[in-house]
A and B are shown apart, each in its own frame.
Chain A
Amino acid sequence: MIEVHVGREENAALVDAAGTRFKLCAVNTASASFIQSLRQVLAPERVLTSDEDLVPYSFDGTAALKQRPGVVVFPLTTAEVAACVKLARDNEVPVVTRGSGTGLSGGSVPLAGCLVICLVKMDKIIELDEKNLTLRAQSGVITKEIDDACAKVGLFYPPDPGSMKISTIGGNVAENSGGLRGLKYGVTRDYVMGIEVVLPDGTQTFLGNKCVKDVAGYSMKDLFVGSEGTLGIITEVILKVLPRPKARKTMLALYDSMEKAAETISAIIAAKIIPCTLEFLDRMTVQCVEDFAKIGLPTDVEALVLMETDGHPAVVEEEAAQMMALAKANGAHDVRAAADEAEGAKLAAARRNAFSALARIRPTTILEDVTVPRSELARMVAFIDDVAKRHRLLIGTFGHLGDGNLHPTFLTNERDHEEMHRIEAALEEIVDETIRLGGTVTGEHGVGLAKKGFLKRQLGEGSYELMRSIKRALDPQGLLNPGKIFD
């Protein structure tokens, strides 16, 4: 996963199980005439081709992956997206869809010379339906702007990935992103009621509706949630929104061992409390976050747990008191509550910066996304510690304690090849252990390029092939995001 070059070599024609040859992937690079046609479909200033314009689209948020596209376009409407897809289909030029490029598995990293369709200019919130509690928006709307729009009328869009200030809702749907409130509120999928999508042949179609109940045929929209841009381009979404919780309380619990933190979590769940947030940061992560945010986090701890409960004010008070008592009973040496919502928001914001803040220490930051059943969490953290020691690596770990999603983060230098090899070996071990514990190699960042090599190991032959046959059925030409998730 370290030095992945996404190039033409990967786009070879394949023979499927039945022996029929099919072309897995469109293979052409953007030609002058193709670019000319794009300029006729879109205003010329929304078609970028110069080196200075393209270099900044060579990567997403994933470490050590880059490839220069041939052309980047910015459609404003679904019809424009469809027109671009049709041109790409006719010219057999692969298409990579991009939101804000914050993805952490290389999903929007281009193929050499490909067409990148960037949706950030499709940024209109179309409707906020207070009667049906739904919000309809174009895909390029920034996640936080969706929740801000809801907040204005007392509503709430819960999924809050760390990147919510800049990630697009289309990217969230395509990655089925999680966030800090996953334990109580679920992930993006739980809020997608409908999507408008452009299929690989250029057809526009709407899947789903505003109905809470709908069993008319297969739940097609769900196929596209988490499809990482490989099945269709999502251009609009209808989201479910909720009444905004009236109160919220944020607390910090500090521990001198990870086990005690994990025990607290089990105790809280056993007490029939579902907090909205249970996040943890290890020593190194806390130090980096404090170094950046300077909000007075104690840096001399093995584990810091950020807890939040929201809902009716009386319930919030009661649950908060209970959670703090449970933390103490389970060995937290210090438990404190944020004075007010503003202070709580500051703490949550600091947590959202954890990943980027870890980059302060060394030049390259490689983030993993392994997830295990909640009960196996402490064991997994201990395992990661041990791997770091044995392979002489620097690993900072943080993650979502409530849902077993860990982000062990390797702090390294991509130019140090020897160390990169050790990382590869360490990663193999972590993946094996994850699978052994019944976990998954990616809880929320997606497979993309980064986790491609591990997918079959986790899924097994049957379900792996099922996924590929769906891809083949929808996109026989291999036009959309080829080489991502699987070859």
Chain B
Amino acid sequence: MPQAVLLKDLDYSVLQQCMHCGMCLPTCPTYVETKLERNSPRGRISLLRAVADGELEVSRALSDEMYYCLGCLACQTACPAGVKYAELFETARAEVELADVNDGMQRGFWRWLTLNVIFMKPWLLRLVGRVLRLYQHTKLDVLMRKVRFFGLMPRSMAALEPQTPRISEKFSNELILPLESPTTKPQYRVALLTGCVQDITFSNINRDTADVLLANGCEVVTLPSQHCCGSLHAHNGEVELARELARKQIDSLDLDALDAIITNAGGCGSHLKAYGHLLHDDPFYAAKAKVWDAKVKDIHEWLVQIRFRRPTAGAGVSEVTYHESCHLCHGQKVVNQPRQVLTSIPGLTVKELPESNWCCGSAGIYNITQPEQSQKLLKRKLANLEQTKCPVVATSNPGCHLQIANGLKACGGHSCQEVTQPVSLLAQAYRAEQGVGASGPY
């Protein structure tokens, strides 16, 4: 069986940093589920250290363990010792891919298609989006379900079909001009990253983001065609592809001419802020990547930083609760700002969600790769949501948004009826000031 390569190359202090105190255990969703050490942060780190020390081989079981881990980074928040779990996690997943311990042509094919092909080319991703949109709009999906077409597909694929997100009527480039200026003299110039999934399924949220930026004196640059940020690749062991995408991102913008690079998807933001580490030994890009990292801001973080204007009108919603995207709160440590955005809206009561920072089970493509554990986490999230009795939940990551929306749709009779995002509510409030209806200008 294969020996470690990447983990051996890793700075040993990263592996050694864990002093196995166990303080992270109660915050780890997989440990809490099974109570087995190998499913805990401390257990996983010990496995990686054993691999690096040559005491353990890179095995299928190790791979399974690293793919059972959500990558939610709750352990990183909990760890007083400052263990860099994100780095260990990404290196470990790259290691198991390198060692090729996961057999199965099918897995290989789907990975190749998504990571090496579709998510590498923005036009291809939009093409896939268009095909899906057509499929949904012509009601072909309903027909397929009626004739039980999915019964003919492999079970795992068939189970996914109802989870396929509703594709937006228009993509971001059809809603946002490449350069939009505020009505008043611009105070800042920012670039807006539209994301991949966000672009084709939640382009309206990108529009909302542009609107709140404009309302706060930001000139907004939005490239019509944008590359994937590469987080999907980095989290799934394709570090080289992630690097390639990071370089493309950096090259796409004139960093000197920008005050900030805005992202509104928690998962992307966390990765976008780590280009410096990803490219640290790239002679040409290392320095640029550092500049890049410093300019990337989550939308809520940026709004609070520039002291965004409190809206004077309400958003047409009276009560909301907030679910935290893991990579926003644990990855980026953006915790209070989204709440500040929500509480700024007149007439809106913000109720705390119990376990608001507990993973909802979306976790990138975890709901596809580990449907069983993903569903357990979703159930837990829905039960917590029910406790708040709030009709609306806000979150700020397309994965969480979809996961919770699908969960609510499937369970029926839940008090919570709607999933939205803090920026959308803020945008609605600003629009209401102008007397524009809740659906906005587009």
Q: What residues make up the interface of A, taking CB atoms closer than 8 Å to B? A: 48, 50-53, 55-61, 63, 74, 100-102, 120-121, 123, 142, 163, 165-166, 289, 291-293, 353, 355-357, 359-360, 363-365, 413
Contacts and interface: CB of A to CB of B under 8 A. Distances in A.
Given A163-B22, A363-B17, A364-B16, A57 B37 contact: yes
Interface of B: 13, 16-17, 19-23, 25-26, 35-38, 40, 42-44, 46-47, 50, 55-56, 59, 61-62, 65, 79-82
**Chain A interface helix/strand/loop/mixed:** loop
Contact of A52 (B22, B25, B42, B62): B62
Which of A50, A58, A121, A359: most chain B Cβ within 10 A? A359
Contact of A50 (B19, B42, B61, B82): B61
Contacts of B82: 291-292, 359-360
Contacts of A359: 17, 19, 21, 80-82
A356 B79 contact: yes
B26 A56 contact: no
A48 B39 CA distance: 13
A85 to B, nearest CB: 21
B56 A163 contact: no
Which of B37, B44, B47: most chain A Cβ within 10 A? B37
Given A52-B56, A55-B50, A59-B46, A163 B38 contact: no
Which of A52, A61, A100, A413: most chain B Cβ within 10 A? A52
Given A52-B56, A356-B80, A360-B82, A102 B47 contact: no
A112 B65 CA distance: 24
The 6 nearest A-B residue pairs measured at CB:
A56-B43, A56-B37, A356-B80, A359-B81, A353-B80, A363-B16
Contacts of B56: 51-52, 55
B37 A52 contact: no
Contact of A120 (B17, B35, B59): B35
Nearest to A355: B21
Nearest to A66: B46
Contacts of A74: 35
Contacts of B38: 52-53, 55-56
Contacts of A365: 19, 81
B324 to A, nearest CB: 17
A378 B240 CA distance: 57
Nearest to B49: A55
Contacts of B62: 52
Given A52-B65, A55-B50, 14 more contacts: A52-B47, A52-B62, A53-B38, A55-B46, A56-B37, A58-B46, A101-B20, A121-B35, A163-B23, A289-B80, A359-B21, A359-B80, A363-B13, A365-B81
B61 A56 contact: no
Contacts of A63: 19
A9 B26 CA distance: 36
B81 A360 contact: yes
Contacts of B79: 356
A99 to B, nearest CB: 10
Contacts of A48: 36
Given A121-B35, A363-B17, A292 B22 contact: no
A300 B17 CA distance: 26
Contacts of A60: 20
A166 B81 contact: no
A100 B28 CA distance: 14
Contacts of B44: 56
Nearest to A120: B35
Contacts of B20: 59-61, 101
15 contacts: A48-B36, A51-B61, A55-B38, A55-B47, A56-B36, A56-B43, A63-B19, A74-B35, A100-B22, A163-B22, A353-B23, A355-B80, A356-B21, A357-B80, A360-B80
Contact of B36 (A53, A355, A413): A53
A123 B62 CA distance: 28
B26 A142 contact: yes
A363 B81 CA distance: 10
A289 B81 CA distance: 9
A166 B13 contact: no
A258 B312 CA distance: 54
Contacts of A293: 80
Nearest to A102: B22
A36 B16 CA distance: 36
Contacts of B61: 50-52
B362 to A, nearest CB: 26
B46 A56 contact: yes
Which of B59, B79, B81: most chain A Cβ within 10 A? B81
